[in-house]
Amino acid sequence: MESALEYSKYLMEILHRIDAGFALAAVLINGAFILMVLTRTSLTAVYVTFLFNCFATIVWNFGDFMVMATADPFWFYFSLIGTGMIPAVMFHFVNALVEPGKNRIWIGIAYVLCLPLALSAPVALMDARVRAFVDGPLWNVLFILLLFPLFSVSIGLLVRAIRRATSRSEANRLRYILIAACIACFSGLTDLLQIFAAPVPPLGHLGSLIYSSVLAVGVFKHRTAYDLLAAMRTKLDLLNELSAGVAHELKNPLSSIQGAARLLHAKAGDHALGETKQYLSIISEEVERLNGIVNNYGCLVRPTKIEREPILINRVLEKTVMLMRASEGTPRVELNLSPESPLCKADAATLKQIFINLIKNAAEACGPEDTIRIRSELVSPWVRITVHDSGNGVPSEILPHIFEPFVSTKANSMGLGLAICRRLVDLNGGTIEAANTAEGACFTIHLPVADAPLRSS
């Protein structure tokens, strides 16, 4: 009997030392992450909140390590400072990552709720009543009541961001953060449940080590992508500014040429030779075409200011189709609109331009007796719009590049219309895709559903 008790005591001591090792390892690895952030990143909100997270984890793990190493109760209360702040810091970090600049009021409320728990720990060293509160189950109950909703909302924000991610790499980066948040929540609860004598092993320090490592992978993957995009954005902004200036300067001589051609045509009158009139007409038509190219090019490269607000997508489609029906040569347009009247968060003027471009393209692909079918439907969290023509479809070798500038299936087109559509859809937070079906080409647009109510017009 005594040997069994001694063996059990020896085993508990080994587990105790392993747990202390995990706590110390978590301190060291989070310290390394802090140095990496300070030396290799810009101190934007994402990285600052990641620093806060690392610091809170260090305080918690170092305090617990010192408790196990020295048995001094001071370090227990020291560790609770970091423990109490972790839910608010994690909530702040997730918001800074997926919704920068938003939810500031809720972030402030999270800190206001967590700060008293964190500060109660050092106060407990001086006040017996506060010490009784911290040492008893009430502190843990309140902490769980804060931890669960804040981490649940954080996980919900990450899941929504993954679903809305526009690329696989972005979704993968966010999945690392999601996995880390789940590990932190689960392992932290195993430690808190010890006070209720729950039959679960305390995994908090091991969890914090794994959590910190997985979280750092996601953060530094974000940094790599962010730095690359920032460098590309700087070069593109410079190129766009130069291109917009060139397009603007071209419009002046083109206007002069067009004006001179019209003046010559008017002065020549009926006495001009037919060949002369023909050449003057060609000059006017070609200048008009060049003006259209310059305007489209300017629309593609110049900064576009949009005002995204909740709008009824069905109303925009109805007005656009009514406008297009008034144009000669437009085939019959069939609308199949969702009865739910979905609200999307977008800019109505740019959406109208997108739909006009798509309908024009569909009209050019169809015959006069064909039908263009437009459909809207709610596929939460998106509003989906499809424009389907009954033409011959897009050639398979061109289809993967159809939204790139200067790619077109028409010999007399510059191929800027669909590139402009993609740019405007991106600015509205949506996606656009092209596919061939048995009946023709189909263009599909996804726009984010509006969270706010419709604004009065």
pLDDT at 9: 64
Q: What are the structural domain ranges in the chain?
A: 2-233, 309-448
**pLDDT tens digit string along 325-348?**
766 666 788 888 888 777 888 888
Q: What angle do CA 422, 426, 431 make, to 5 degrees?
A: 75
CB 408 within 8 A of CB 401: no
Cβ neighbours of residue 268 closer than 8 Å, sequence gap 6 or more: 276, 277, 280
CA distance 382 to 448: 5
Pairing of strands 441-448, 382-388: antiparallel
Assigned fold of 2-233: Rhopdopsin 7-helix transmembrane proteins (1.20.1070)
User: pTM for this structure?
Assistant: 0.52
Structure tokens belonging to residue 51:
């620093």
Calpha distance 247→301 (Å, rounded): 9
Distance (Å, whole) CA 375 – CA 160: 25
The residues with which 447 forms a beta bridge, in sequence order, are 383
pLDDT tens digits, 269-314: 655 556 676 777 777 766 776 666 666 555 555 556 677 888 888 8
Exposed/middle/buried for residue 11 (C-beta within 10 Å: 0-12, 13-18, 19+)? exposed
Alpha carbon separation from 411 to 301, 363, 377, 415 (Å, rounded): 23, 16, 35, 9
| pLDDT tens track for 364-411 | 887 777 788 999 988 888 889 999 988 888 887 788 888 887 777 765
- pLDDT the model gives residue 273: 59
Structural tokens at position 81? 């400072």
Partners of 342 in beta bridges: none
| Coil, strand or helix at 436 | strand
**Angstrom distance (rounded) from CA 52 to CA 90:** 9
Token pair for 54? 């690392």
The pLDDT, as a whole number, for residue 6 is 64
Specify the CATH architecture of the domain 309-448: 2-Layer Sandwich (3.30)
Given a cut of 50, the residues of the chain with pLDDT beneath it are: 1, 228-230, 232, 452-457
Residue 373's alpha-carbon distances to 27, 285, 441, in angstroms, are 61, 32, 11
Structure tokens at 119: 């500060």
Tell me which amino acid residue 269 is: G
- Alpha-carbon Rg for the chain, nearest whole angstrom, is 32
How far is it, in rounded angstroms, from Cα 152 to Cα 145? 11
